[in-house]
Amino acid sequence: MLTRSAAYRWGIMAVASTLAVLVPACGQAPVSGSPVAAVLPVSGVPSTTTTTSVAPPPPPSTTSSASSSKPPVTQAKPVPAGRVVVLDPGHNGGNGSHPAEINRQVPAGRGKTKACNTTGTTTNAGYSEHAFTWDVSVRVRDLLSARGVRVVLTRPNDSGVGPCVNERAAIGNRENATAVVSIHADGSTSAGAHGFHVAYSSPALNAAQGEPSLRLARVVRDGMRAAGFVTSNYIGSDGLSPRNDLAGLNLSERPSVLVECGNMRDATEAATLSSADGRQRYAKAITDGILAYLG
């Protein structure tokens, strides 16, 4: 959740890029599993003779016939090389038991300070925002990794404390991220409040917070909308929310947005946020938006 009050803290902590490697993979089918790979040269084999002996080609006439009758393979558009995405799962599972650490004041940009981090919200049934953001971030990571994108998470698990909001921003800056996406869910108790929105820094404090961040916000919004998620009826406009009070966005020197996937206090959205199928839908939608940004 992120309210303008002290309730919201976009946390932080430096996590090495290698941390993503420590997280268990989530079963994404590798692209190399495609049938096409079986007839391509094996790049890792040093000798072409060996390759040929392992998979001898059919006679020329058969080869021609086979290739022309092969069913079309739907290949996703390749992601340009060198893209780096920093995913920031909001909050952390250990925050609640470490108030002194997460309440300490840290730089929040625009000359302000904020608490290092917060505990986040929960559904009425007790499903936590930090568990949601972690789960969705891992799913997005796996989807992007399967497309060859290097992904860095701002925290290595859902049992730690922090990182503080300023450190989360610093991770994106240090990684020279192509895009930084922070993932949250809101906790509004206003009657009927529901829907997602994407926040971006405004007024922009640097070039990356200008057009690139707004473009990133729009494509993530479009990805969410295309997946059937409705835009917020209580924050922002048309699914977008310009903000000047979010430390992670203020301190970012890279294109950066924060997605509030839904309202955990809304019964209908809570059901989706709490289900694995629902979280996969959120992850796919966010991934589609990011991929559109990466080009």
Pairing status of strand 105-109 against strand 112-115: antiparallel
Tell me whether residue 164 is exposed, middle or buried, using C-beta atoms within 10 angstroms of its C-beta: 0 to 12, 13 to 18, 19 or more. buried
Residue 38: both structure tokens together: 């079986």
For position 262 contacting Zn ion by CB under 5 A, the verdict is no
**Residues 94, 161: contact at Cβ < 8 Å?**
yes
Stretch that binds Zn ion, among 31-39, 116-124, 249-257, 266-274 (CB under 5 A): 116-124
- Nearest residue to Zn ion by CB is 184
Q: Which of 120, 162, 163, 172 binds Zn ion (CB under 5 A)?
A: 120
Active-site residue set: 260
Dihedral (Cα; 109, 261, 176, 102), 10-degree rounding: 50
Among positions 5-44, residues that touch Zn ion (CB under 5 A) are none
For position 90 contacting Zn ion by CB under 5 A, the verdict is yes
Q: How many residues bind Zn ion (CB under 5 A)?
A: 4
Place of tokens 């009425």: 124
Q: Per 3-state DSSP, what percentage of the chain is helix, strand, and coil (rounded to 5)?
A: 40, 15, 45
Stretch that binds Zn ion, among 69-77, 85-93, 101-109, 239-247 (CB under 5 A): 85-93
Q: How far is the CB of 184 from Zn ion (least distance, A)?
A: 3
For position 155 contacting Zn ion by CB under 5 A, the verdict is no
For position 261 contacting Zn ion by CB under 5 A, the verdict is no
Contact set with Zn ion (CB under 5 A): 1, 90, 120, 184
